[in-house]
Amino acid sequence: MNNLEIEKQYKKKSERRENKKKNRRNANGEDVIFIFEKILEGWKTIRIYNTIIQNNPNSEILKKNVENISTGNSKVYENELPSERYNYYKVYQYHINKKINKNNII
């Protein structure tokens, strides 16, 4: 196998993994940012879930998904958001991880 074939295989594998993770979380990039914002404001996950459902009744997000995303264990991919929003997300991701690490130490 040459390097070009290896790169193609790696790209395909990355795309499959990305699609699988996006489908599993049942939330778009904007929902993830919203969840991060509200967690940093001190909202409970049930309140966040109820707010998302009230704002968008067609949302397929589940309470379990909100809980998983709120742990910081969720990734938004660059192709989901415009670059400005993606950079905004990265800031929130940093603060969420910092808050989670602080809570685990205590």
Alpha-carbon gap, residue 82 to 26, rounded angstroms? 19
Instruction: Encode pLDDT of 3-43 as tens digits.
Output: 888 888 988 998 898 888 888 888 888 888 899 889 889 99
Radius of gyration of the chain (CA): 16
Give the amino acid at 46: I
Percentage of the chain beyond pLDDT 70 is: 93
CA-based torsion, 68, 73, 78, 81: positive or negative: positive
**Where are the chain's structural domains?**
3-105
Alpha-carbon gap, residue 53 to 81, rounded angstroms? 21
**pLDDT-derived band at 65, boundaries 50, 70, 90:** very high
Q: 102: phi > 0 → left, psi -120 to 50 → alpha, else beta; which? A: alpha
Q: For the whole prediction, is pTM greater than 0.85?
A: no
Contact of 90 with 77, CB cutoff 8 Å: no
pLDDT over 70 at 103, yes or no = no
